[in-house]
């Protein structure tokens, strides 16, 4: 069966963001930033305070870092040596969910079970030593309202997490109680940061000119160093929770997906750009093309990456996921569909970066900087990086020459250790 050409063209059109729309989205993002600085309740950006500025680069010592932000939980013991140098002394990792075995992120789990599981992993990272004192930095990659560096309350789960009893709670209290239940009183959680903040801290520890940190992976979000030039307050990193940005042009399928998701109406940008969702949107479009609307084939962003990279594997991948043989002439179309979604994603992410760059620049020129990004979509998805660079030029023209992006791999762990070090001040 060959695809209906008209329907295919319509899908591509619906998933394309043209130059004019791109510029409008960047301008709206900047507008929401300014609104959010005055009154976050009126903005679709949460603008959450981190209570941290940039690291000095002189942070030293041994710390524990908990990286809790996706299905894979990690605890690291990290030695900071200053000047961008560090050593990972130990690293342990476990998924929070193993299909058919256990699930600490579903609606049937409890907060206590979830945090007991985390405390067990902390115990592994310290080799069961309940004597030596450790400060623990916690990268908690969900929207959290902070009143200081320690006290962060989960506002709302994202990334389809559904564990009851955590929303509205101070996550480090839950962690502390779980550590205590297991006799681990020598580990003191002292800092909670978002993963975007961790990326910014980790990159800024190693090199100058870092003011924006972003995650472009299962989830998506960005933070930046707000200079507070007008008020004269000390600069502070703000977690925008940019995945919740709303002033977009969602397609028909984006709207359908959102309506059926765990949290309809929330995380609209994230649902259009991040790895967790891109595969699903691709699957929804494929189901229409295969005239099986509503069927869930379980496509992932990794399938999309393979589809874009290897034309000769496309038919095989589609057959394995959908059971359908596609016509030879449709292979290119399947590739085009996947590419269009990735390009849209990269362009929307860039529009948000440019909104921040315009805000930083005020009425002047864009400042020289490297945007620090971590995440599998940025790192591995074909077409992502090049389309970020292209969209930067499209929006900033010549000024794009002073801006580039750098991969900050594993920033969540290192950033948490740096935050723990900074908590001692
Ligand atoms: C969360 C953010 C996080 C991002 C990347 C989003 O779903 O709301 O807090 O930074 O995912 O992990």
| Residue 140 CA to ligand 1 centre (angstroms) | 9
Q: How much distance in Å is there from the Cα of 216 to the middle of ligand 1? A: 9
Query: Rounded to an integer, what distance in angstroms lies between the CA atom of residue 138 and that of residue 146?
Result: 13
Nearest ligand 1 atom to alpha carbon 195 = 10
Give Cα 212 distance to the centre of its chain.
13
CA distances in angstroms from 114 to 68, 143, 161, listed in the order given: 11, 18, 12
- Tell me the whole-structure pTM to 2 decimals: 0.95
Q: In Å, how far are 129, 206, 417 from 191, measured between CA atoms?
A: 21, 20, 9
155 alpha carbon – ligand 1 mean position (Å): 12
Domains along the chain with CATH numbers: 5-47+205-407 (3.40.367.20), 60-193 (3.30.420.40)
Determine the Cα–Cα distance for residues 257 and 266; give it in Å rounded to an integer. 12
Report long-range pairs for 296-305 (Cβ below 8 Å, ≥24 apart). 297/321, 297/322, 300/275, 301/275, 301/276, 301/376, 301/377, 301/381, 303/279, 304/278, 304/279, 304/338, 304/341, 304/342, 304/381, 305/380, 305/381, 305/382
- What does residue 307 show for φ and ψ, rounded to 5 degrees? -65, -45
Cα 378 to averaged position of ligand 1 atoms, centre (Å)? 15
CB atoms within 10 A of CB 207: 13
The total of other beta-carbon atoms located within 10 Å of residue 49's CB is 16
Each of the 425 residues of the chain gets a pLDDT tens digit; together they read 799 999 999 999 999 999 999 999 999 999 999 999 999 899 999 999 999 999 999 999 999 999 999 889 999 999 999 999 999 999 999 999 999 999 999 999 999 999 999 999 999 999 999 999 999 999 999 999 999 999 999 999 998 899 999 999 999 999 999 999 999 999 999 999 999 999 999 999 999 999 999 999 989 999 999 988 778 899 999 999 999 999 999 999 999 999 999 889 999 999 999 998 999 999 999 999 999 999 999 999 999 999 999 999 999 999 999 999 999 999 999 999 999 999 999 999 999 999 999 999 988 999 999 999 999 999 999 999 999 999 999 999 999 999 999 999 989 999 999 999 999 97
Pairing between β-strand 212-216 and β-strand 369-374 as defined by DSSP bridges: parallel
Pocket of ligand 1 (CB under 6 A): 69, 141-143, 158-159, 194-196, 215, 219-221, 241, 243, 270
Nearest CA to ligand 1 atom 2: 142
């Amino acid at each position: 069966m060959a695809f209906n050409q008209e329907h295919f063209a319509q899908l591509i059109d619906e998933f394309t963001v043209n130059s004019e729309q791109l510029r409008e989205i960047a301008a709206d993002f900047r507008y929401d930033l300014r609104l959010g600085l005055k009154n976050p309740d009126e903005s679709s950006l949460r603008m959450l305070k981190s209570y941290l500025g940039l690291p000095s680069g002189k942070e030293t010592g041994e710390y524990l870092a908990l990286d809790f932000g996706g299905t894979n939980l990690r605890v690291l013991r990290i030695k900071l040596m200053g000047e961008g140098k560090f050593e990972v002394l130990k690293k342990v990792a476990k998924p929070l969910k193993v299909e058919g075995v256990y699930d600490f992120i579903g609606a049937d789990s409890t907060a206590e079970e979830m945090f007991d599981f985390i405390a067990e992993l902390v115990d592994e990272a310290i080799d069961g030593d309940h004597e030596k004192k450790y400060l623990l930095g916690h990268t908690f990659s969900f929207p959290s309202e902070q009143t200081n560096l320690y006290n962060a309350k989960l506002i709302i789960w994202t990334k389809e997490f559904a564990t009851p009893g955590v929303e509205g709670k101070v996550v480090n209290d839950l962690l502390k109680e779980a550590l205590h239940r297991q006799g681990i009183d020598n580990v003191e959680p002292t800092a909670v940061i978002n993963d975007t903040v961790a990326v910014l801290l980790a990159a800024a520890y190693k090199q100058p000119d870092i003011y924006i940190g972003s995650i472009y992976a299962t989830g998506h979000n960005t933070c930046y160093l707000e200079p507070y030039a007008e008020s004269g307050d000390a600069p502070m990193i703000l977690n925008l929770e940019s995945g919740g940005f709303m002033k977009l042009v969602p397609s028909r399928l984006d709207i359908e997906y959102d309506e059926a998701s765990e949290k309809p109406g929330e995380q609209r940008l994230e649902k259009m750009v991040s790895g967790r969702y891109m595969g699903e949107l691709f699957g929804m479009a494929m189901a229409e093309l295969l005239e099986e609307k509503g069927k869930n084939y379980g496509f992932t962003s990794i399938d999309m990456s393979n589809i874009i990279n290897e034309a000769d594997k496309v038919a095989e991948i589609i057959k394995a996921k959908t059971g359908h043989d596609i016509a030879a002439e449709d292979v290119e179309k399947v590739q085009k569909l996947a590419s269009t979604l990735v390009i849209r994603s990269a362009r929307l992410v860039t529009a948000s970066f440019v909104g921040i760059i315009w805000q930083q620049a005020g009425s002047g020129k864009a400042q020289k900087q490297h945007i620090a990004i971590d995440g599998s979509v940025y790192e591995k998805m074909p077409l992502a990086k090049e389309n970020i660079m292209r969209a930067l030029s499209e929006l900033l023209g010549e000024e794009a020459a002073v801006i580039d992006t750098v991969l900050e791999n594993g920033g969540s762990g290192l950033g948490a250790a740096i935050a723990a070090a900074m908590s001692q001040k």
